[in-house]
Amino acid sequence: MKFLKIALIILSVTFIAACSKKEDPVVPPPPPKNKAQMLASHRWKYDVLVHNYHTATPVTVYKRGQAGNTYNLDGDSYSYNIDGTYSATIIAEPLPTTGRWNLTPDETQIEVRVSGGTVAYIATIVQLDENNYIFTYTDQDSYGKLIAY
For residue 104, tell me if it sits in a domain.
yes
For residue 17, tell me if it sits in a domain.
no
For residue 99, tell me if it sits in a domain.
yes
- What pLDDT score was predicted for residue 24? 77
In percent, how much of the chain has pLDDT > 70? 85
For residue 21, tell me if it sits in a domain.
no
For residue 3, tell me if it sits in a domain.
no
Please give the Cα distance from 101 to 70 (Å, whole number).
27
- Confidence band (pLDDT; 50, 70, 90) for 5? low
- Looking up residue 137, the CATH number of its domain turns out to be 2.40.128.270
- Please tell me whether the overall predicted TM-score, pTM, comes out greater than 0.85 for this model: no
**pLDDT (average), residues 43-60:** 97
For residue 68, tell me if it sits in a domain.
yes
The answer on pLDDT for 10 being more than 80 is no
- Domain total in the chain: 1
Domain of residue 42 covers 35-148
Query: Please, are residues 83 and 71 in contact by the beta-carbon 8 Å criterion?
Result: no
Alpha helices per DSSP H over the chain: 2-19, 35-40
For residue 24, tell me if it sits in a domain.
no
Please give the Cα distance from 140 to 78 (Å, whole number).
19
**pLDDT (average), residues 93-110:** 91
